[in-house]
Amino acid sequence: MSESRSPASESVAKPARQEWLTLKQVAAILQLSDWSVRRYAKQGHLRYVKTPGERGSLRFKREWVDQFMDANTHEGPDEPSRPLNIREQKDVDGSFVQECPTLAKAMGYIK
């Protein structure tokens, strides 16, 4: 006797359930303050929904947070950037002497 499987008994792959995150969870993921996350959301940079009620809470899909991170991730230079010191600024644009003659004189660039 052969076993017959009914369609109901076969395992059917369920669609992945959306993960909803709270404001605090998103802030922790992005390493930002709650206030910054709220501001990005209200300015339209980060998608959200508001729960029902007079003072509804903000909720975010993980996918939306990932999209926000992808859109705002920038590869930096290999070396960490640092501000140029006064001598390097002079060498870069040559305008230091004109912009800060007193300091340039004190540093020996002009007499």
Residue-wise DSSP of the chain: ------TTTS--PPPPPPPEEEHHHHHHHHT--HHHHHHHHHTTSS--EE-SSTTPPEEEEHHHHHHHHHHT-----SSPP-PPPHHHHHHHHS-HHHH-HHHHHHTTS--
Quote the pLDDT of residue 52.
93
Separation in Å, CA 52 to CA 27, 46, 49, 55: 21, 19, 9, 8
Integer Cα distance of 34 and 3 in angstroms: 57
Quote the pLDDT of residue 95.
56
Integer Cα distance of 106 and 83 in angstroms: 21
Across the chain, which has 111 residues, the per-10-residue mean pLDDT values are 54 66 95 95 94 92 94 71 54 53 62 64
Quote the pLDDT of residue 12.
60
Query: pTM for the full model?
Result: 0.53
Quote the pLDDT of residue 19.
82
Quote the pLDDT of residue 79.
58
Quote the pLDDT of residue 10.
55
Quote the pLDDT of residue 58.
94
Quote the pLDDT of residue 72.
86
